[in-house]
Structure 1
């Protein structure tokens, strides 16, 4: 009887998987060297080490996906595993997938200068109708013979040094069965951990292509962090939608809608003020008493949970109706920081996530602004660091950086679930900005007003009995934390030379008032802009504002002197009747004036409501006001077609008309 050798099996699997890691790293180095002229200007030893460390995350995921069959075959504890054909099958289950991955990674080194992104499922759509690909591949193999040689060497090495790793079979006892079940269970957990990208315990979702940004100094460097098998696997089933053809000419489209914003007139005085953007978790309009005096149906003495916010709003600029463009946190980041709407799928998890984009950071860098983003969660939490990097923010401050600051209590200030408590992290935020050169643009994303609805124990007696739902005490605590932030900020030397923007990421599902449970009411969030110097207008203004409007409004007020792309409006220069708000919560929806339009995915009108006077959306007006419905539908079509055209072209270039060159 053959002696069972589980240790030999495990060592064989580990050695073979380690060879795959080496092959991926060699391919990454080849990718970098092949495209060195694109990266040499900014590449340093420190940034390259960070890129290669980050690449291990993505390599782990790809290797676990592509080697799972090999691992399963190697671990099955049955007598069949001793047969020669089975051992050869196990060997081929290792060699063939890894050989394909090597060819894909090295081939992508050549493709990248043409596509400026890793090969994804989108690439096959781009070349699906070409009949000369064989000739092109042949030419490129000759031109890049050294990569072909490298591929042969790597595949040969995998074949030559492969270690047999099938389980040696013995008669099973109950102890052996238990040991095998435990071993297989451990492998399953490790494989899931690996497929998620080594974020099994620290992130709420598997890593996506866009997570590569957090290891890159420049957005384009994210492509070095990635590997091609991962990019393909993660984009399966996520093909970009067809570009709608509602308008046949670029001029017709631009006449209806264009995201182009022109440089401020020469006569406008530039104001290079600091910009501070506070994104508050679930801080919905419903919770703010001063924004509900004339809105609530069932409570004329509306009780809010934000006394500090109620005192703050009269000092700032806001509008009658202010809307979120999305219902989830990660989609709020593009909307607020980059004026990018959610369109079907959120931008961050879409095939467009590695596109070049406009943002506060990318634009204000042209004025030599210092840029940084803050979030009190673990540094890979929610993908915020990845998006901030992709949006051009040079510095990121998360829980890791907070815990290194001796002025605070480190992990003792962790809420136990998500992040550092809002009060402490906002104090950290205020003080860190005092260490930055001016002018700067920074953003922060808070976390305490979130499930599981906890507040620091020291405030239990103060806030525990607030409101109807458990979230209300968290809103009360966050409101208090915001007050403390502004108290500290007001003492800093940069305060009076700063524009503050305060908004929520999205509304809350924990609504207690019926008017906020409708499709039109569900999107209300505060958007408040505050200029301590008093130069900017203050008070409640007529009309609406959406998260997409934050970027163009602030850049317009600063007198930004360059053309740029943003999908929202500058509300200070756009007449109230011309403003609009858009979101795609299951279906496309648009607000213009007093009206709220709903359509299906193809922009066919399904409903029109007077959301101001018919708060509960009881009367569908699409048949009574067909001209109004058609007018709003046309605007929606223009927005959607312009979005998809620009995303598909990966362009933030400006143009007079037509697609960017």
Structure 2
């Protein structure tokens, strides 16, 4: 009896749905094999875990079956022929049994040894003489997982419904027009699935985005799936680095392990902590930090309110960003983790064990929150915040649920002024002490401000100056509204830029290190912390300094220094741009992994020994990659 024909689109939908079923089964096996490491799952978290799994599974389906979608929807009649259907079936079965089933089921075994999903490193470095024998050994030892693979492959083969004929009811021009349209829509959906969305705020998802849907990194690994993990990390390269020093000597030259003193220079224990990470707030926007840039100019800087806070707070007059992108700023500020060749959050190893600033303060009794006026999940900020230990996320969607959609800037998210006001409303409801971080977004391309402020804000000398003045005004309005609140007076405010602006004004900012110099300072409303430092400081120093001020006495992991309590650590700012580089008070160091180059800075005191400086920098680089390799960013127990 001849089977009833189906349309190509109907059969494609069914066959792709079958791949999702297979991914669900593989995830169930993964959890059963690693339940001890992941921990029990509460009913209340299953919805969010499922949403994250759907997002990463969609990317995996696109990577594995994107070509199959094309084979199924080509707008030509030969797709109904038996020879073409054989090609489709062969591709489908091979791709999904190997790239989907085999990789994900292998993860069930592999994860217990490495605490990470299989990525490009394992695939590209599996070409060894003993690889085949090891695979046979693991297959035999894990016979239950092997049996699951056989059964899932049978499910794919039988569920494909190969014998179901494909027929279209359309003919002639209608067939070609309709099927071309369907193919175009399918291609667009595939692109959206691979990127994780289609809005201008959407950054293509990476492994670290899994933390947005999970309460810890173990559950984040449960959300991930392959082939996404392999293909998304193919460009990251393997973790190979030079061992410049033996372990004993390495720790003497530089260690990321901190042992806080019993007393602090300034004790702000129990205070709330609010970190403002400010988009593109270069030091040159401030006449207080760079008065020489505005000699003879009509406008004396564009941050008068922030300048007043710097004078009344504790100002780092020479603060430098550790990277050039927003995605590098979050781990630098909240985790004291630099980003060298690849941004830290894009490394699959970034989901390793860590205890960053929000997590440490959370364990000290702080409630934690992160605010950003962009869409939830955009740019990877919320995902990183969750992985760092932050419990509550507030985004554009939350703002619009309370205040409507009229404050969307048309590009990135909610204008900074109303969003800061909204953040204050939420902070008033948070239990104290609290830790909160807020990422501003308005001082950014296309360099626009709300229409009502265009006539009153100075145009400035670059395209971003008006945006910088707008954010300065937004902070002024925030302080005016909440300055008399009790929680406000009990808060340590930290202001730090994510990186310098793409728009340069002062000649100093055209080259390193001036092109990394940013605004950075601490402020307490009651004047408990005042002063300034002309020493080189960096974003990496924020976490250790805040922990010192808030009374942390436990050992912690950080690549920066507590600027008020750790005089013995290197006074520098480190980074990577076409090579490793560092700046101190009086020297600039560049290192191409072969020979370091140390040059003097104009006006410096020449206190650093060049050889000692280079050795300490090499030790920091070795420590960084050693911990990336271990996937561990905590002090050993």
TM bin, normalised by shorter chain, reads over 0.9
Task: Give the match for residue 524 of structure 1.
Answer: 517
What is the CA–CA distance in structure 1 between the aligned matches of 2:273 and 2:369, rounded to whole Å? 11
- The change in CA–CA distance for 1:171 and 1:364 in structure 2 (over 3 A counts) is closer
TM superposition shift of 1:643? 0.5
For 1:469, the equivalent position in structure 2 comes to: 462
- 1:429 paired residue number: 423
Q: 1:64 aligns with which of 58, 62, 65?
A: 62
Alignment correspondent of 1:331: 328
Provide the rounded CA distance (Å) in 1 between the counterparts of 2:320 and 2:169: 66
Deviations 1:319-368 (A, max 9, x none): 33111111110110000110011111110112322122231112112212
Structure 1 residue 265, shift from structure 2 partner:
1.6
How far off is 1:443 after superposition? 0.3
Partner of 2:34: 35
Deviations 1:2-50 (A, max 9, x none): xxx8x70110111100111111112212222322223334x21121221
Structure 2 CA distance for aligned equivalents of residues 93 and 30 of structure 1 = 25
SS at match of 2:444: coil
**What residue is the counterpart of 2:360 in the other structure?**
363
Q: 1:99-118 residue pairs with structure 2 within 5 A? A: 99-100=97-98, 101-118=100-117
How far 1:235 sits from its partner (Å)?
A: 1.0
Deviations 1:495-549 (A, max 9, x none): 222211001100011012211111221001011111223332x132231211000
Partner of 2:450: 456
Corresponding position: 1:568 with 2:560 = yes
Unpaired runs of at least 5, structure 1: 615-624, 656-660
Q: C-alpha separation between the residues in 2 aligned to 1:127 and 1:89?
A: 29
Aligned equivalent of 1:492: 485
Deviates more, 1:60-69 or 1:28-37: 28-37
Deviation track 1:388-438 (CA, whole Å, cap 9, x = no partner) reads 011111111111222222xxx221111111111111111111121111111
Question: Which whole-Å deviations, capped at 9, do the CAs of 1:194-216 have from their partners, x for residues lacking one?
Answer: 2223x122644211111111000
Structure 2 counterpart of 1:608: 599
Equivalent residue, structure 1, for 2:531: 539
- CA–CA separation in structure 1 for the residues paired with 2:132 and 2:389: 36
Give distance in 2, aligned partners of 1:44 and 1:400.
26
Structure 2 distance, partners of 1:169, 1:376, is: 47
Question: By how many angstroms is 1:141 displaced?
Answer: 4.6
> How many Å separate the matches in 1 of 2:626 and 2:356?
19
Which residue matches 1:153?
151
- 2:456 aligns to what SS in structure 1? helix
Per-residue deviation, 1:121: 1.9
Alignment length, in residue pairs? 631
Alignment CA distance shift 1:137-1:362 (3 Å): farther
1:22–1:358 Cα change, 3 Å:
same
- RMSD of the alignment, in Å? 2.8
Does the 8 Å CA contact 1:264/1:560 hold for their aligned counterparts? Answer: no
Gaps in structure 2 of 5+ consecutive residues:
none
- For residues 297 and 473 of structure 2, the distance between their equivalents in structure 1, rounded to whole angstroms, comes to 25
Q: Please name the residue that 2:250 is paired with.
A: 253
TM-score by length of 1: 0.89
Write out aligned runs for 1:291-370 (5 A): 291-293=289-291, 295-296=292-293, 299=296, 303-370=300-367
Superposition deviation, residue 224 in structure 1: 1.0
Q: Report the Cα distance in structure 2 between the residues aligned to 1:220 and 1:177, rounded to whole angstroms.
A: 48
CA distance in 2 between counterparts of 1:588 and 1:128 reads 31
CA distance in 2, matches of 1:208, 1:500: 31
CA distance in 1, matches of 2:124, 2:625: 15
Cα distance in 1 for residues equivalent to 2:56 and 2:43: 20
**Shift of residue 143, structure 1, vs aligned partner:** 4.5
C-alpha change, 1:171 and 1:212, in structure 2 (3 Å) is closer
CA distance in 2, matches of 1:575, 1:51: 45
Which stretch of the first structure deviates more once superposed, 202-211 or 393-402? 202-211
CA shift for structure 1 position 455: 1.3
The 8 Å contact of residues 50 and 215 in structure 1, kept in 2 or not, is answered as yes
SS at match of 2:534: strand
Moved more, 263-272 or 58-67: 263-272
- Whether contact under 8 Å (1:576, 1:593) holds in the other structure is no
| CA shift in 2, pair 1:475/1:135, >3 Å | closer
Q: Secondary structure at the match of 2:349?
A: coil
Distance 1:180 1:533, change over 3 A: same
Q: Does the aligned pair in 2 maintain the 1:292–1:302 contact within 8 Å?
A: no
Among 278, 288, 292, the residue aligned to 2:276: 278
Contact 1:378 1:399 in 2 (8 A): yes
C-alpha distance 217-348 of structure 1, shift in aligned 2 (>3 A)? same
Given that residues 115 and 352 in structure 2 are in contact (C-alpha distance below 8 angstroms), is that contact kept between their aligned partners in structure 1?
no
Looking at structure 1, the residues matched to 188 and 17 of structure 2 have their Cα atoms a distance apart, in angstroms, of 18
Q: 1:389 maps to which residue?
A: 386
Partner of 1:373: 370
In the alignment, the residues of structure 1 paired with residue 42 and residue 140 of structure 2 have an alpha-carbon distance, to the nearest angstrom, of: 30
For the 8 Å contact 1:326–1:583, the answer to whether it is kept is: yes
> Structure 2 CA distance, aligned partners of 1:469 and 1:331?
24
TM-score (norm: length of structure 2): 0.93
Q: Matches of 1:301 and 1:539 in 2, distance apart?
A: 29
Distance (Å, rounded) in 1 between the aligned partners of 2:180 and 2:123: 41
Assess if the C-alpha contact under 8 Å between 1:592 and 1:632 holds in 2.
no
Provide the secondary structure at the position in 1 that maps to 2:405. Answer: helix
1:653 aligns with 2:634: yes
Specify which of 563, 582, 598 is matched with residue 574 of structure 2.
Answer: 582
Q: Deviations over 1:530-570 (max 9, x none)?
A: 1223332x132231211000001111122211001100011
Once the two structures are overlaid, the 10-residue window that deviates more, 136-145 or 351-360, is 136-145
**Cα shift at 1:155:** 2.0
155-164 or 270-279, which deviates more? 155-164
Post-superposition offset of 1:626? 13
